[in-house]
Structure 1
Amino acid sequence: MSFTVIAENLEKKFIIKKKKLFKKTEKKELKAVKDISFQIKKGEIFGLLGPNGAGKTTTIKMLSGLLKPSNGKIFLNNIDVNKEPLKALKNIGTVLAGDRSVYWKLTARENLEYFAALYGYNGKEGKKRTQYILNKIDLEDRADELVEKYSTGMKQKVALGKALIPDAPVVLLDEPTLGLDPQAALNLRKIILNLKDEGKTILLTTHYMEEADFLSDRIAIIDNGEIIAIDTPEKLKKSLNETKKIKFKITNYSKKLEKELNQIKNIKNLMYKYDANEEKHIIIIHQNNGHEIIDDVLNILNTNNSKILSMNIKETTLEDVFLNITGKNLKN
Structure 2
Amino acid sequence: MSNNTSNACINDSTNQINIIFVGMYSFISIVGLILNLIALVVFCNNGRTRSHTVVYMTHLAFADLLLILTLPMRIYYHLGFTGLHQWMCNILGLVLKANMYSSIFFLMFICFDRCLAVNFPMSAPVQKWRKKAWLVCIGIWLLTFGASVPIYLSKPSNQTQDKCFDSIPVFAIQPIVVLPTLFVGFGLPLVLMLICSWFLVRAVRRSTVAQTNLVDSSKISKMITTSLLVFLVSFLPYHATLLLLSLNRHNITCPMLDAHRYSLMVACVNTVLDPVAYYFTTDTFKKKVDMGAFRRMLPLNSQSSDLTRRGRVAEDS
Aligning the two structures, in what range does the TM-score lie when normalised by the shorter sequence? under 0.3
Select the structure that is richer in helix.
2
TM-score by length of structure 1 reads: 0.20
TM-score by length of structure 2 reads: 0.21
- Larger Rg belongs to: 1
Identify which of structures 1 and 2 has the higher relative contact order when contacts are C-alpha pairs closer than 8 Å and 6+ apart: 2
